[in-house]
Structure 1
């Protein structure tokens, strides 16, 4: 399982990552991009055109499949219940909805050491606690380095918590995801 969180700068960083992942990726990819309602569907369609993986906006009750990317809709939290996605209108977390932490907090206990958490560029600290939980459950974590971020806030929050296994340039995120999925390292 791969969980990616991003905010400011994400619409430029996320395509870089998804376009470099192989079409036979042996895991589903769940993405929270802080984006207003009404923009995520067209963003998912744009990502689908440049990614070897199938990218779509997540739907409530949908079953997840490896080699597919599910993007949280704007203004809805994305959660995981077993192999099904849940959309939630609950209160904002870290001042945002969807929140990366909400998703990671539901994925980490289910997938444990089979989880790869990724935080890309973004303002604030959303995702830091979720990344710590992924590590506590035996998963692996990687964050985008300061030099390639538009805003280093979210990755820095993960680093400050000691929850980043790797800190790498944007162009190396995808190969680190593949490596972590295949070797657990």
Structure 2
């Protein structure tokens, strides 16, 4: 099963909603790893549902993936236990939760190259070091073109050889293609 990961930080929440407005029913799971304060997750989930019409699941316990949008419980990280099971918890002492590094490290432990990872703008380098390992496993990366904050995207680009640099509309079109493959 194809799976989409959207990760980002500063300036990313509104862009997430823009690229999730695909005007079609989801046929794939989409896991969001956006740096957010603990108290903002519920509102973000509500905004995604209202703006896109997609089912949004805040992960509190291990849950089997289905076509929906997933967010970690406030102040926690998303982690894939298997290619089909996602959980939420604090798995590493990091400054930010959810941690992109925790999610990407959990993907690296799986024998599954059916991930499409979209990196949006932000600050820092959370998760960038594991990108090369994931790319070598055949996982595809899509990097935001001209983000408001280039630090996160630039740090990923330093570790990647094969990727696509796309604007938000192009990212949305990629997600539409991936979603159509699962019909």
> TM-score w.r.t. structure 1 length?
0.86
CA shift in 2, pair 1:181/1:64, >3 Å: same
**In the alignment, which residue of structure 2 is the partner of 1:92?**
93
CA RMSD, 1 decimal: 2.1
> TM-score w.r.t. structure 2 length?
0.87
Q: CA deviation at 1:182?
A: 6.3
Q: CA deviation at 1:164?
A: 5.2
**In the alignment, which residue of structure 1 is the partner of 2:170?**
172
**Does the 8 Å contact 1:34/1:74 carry over to 2?**
no
CA shift in 2, pair 1:88/1:164, >3 Å: farther
**In the alignment, which residue of structure 2 is the partner of 1:65?**
66
**Does the 8 Å contact 2:92/2:102 carry over to 1?**
no
- 2: distance between equivalents of 1:44 and 1:175? 22
Count of aligned pairs between the two proteins: 178
Partner deviation per Cα, 1:114-133 (whole Å, 9 max, x = no partner): 11011111111113234333
**Does the 8 Å contact 1:113/1:138 carry over to 2?**
yes
**Does the 8 Å contact 2:22/2:176 carry over to 1?**
no
Partner deviation per Cα, 1:122-172 (whole Å, 9 max, x = no partner): 1111132343332121111101012xx120111111111125510011121
Q: Which segments of 5 or more consecutive residues in structure 2 lack a partner in the other structure?
A: none
**In the alignment, which residue of structure 2 is the partner of 1:51?**
52
Q: CA deviation at 1:107?
A: 2.3
Q: Which segments of 5 or more consecutive residues in structure 1 lack a partner in the other structure?
A: none
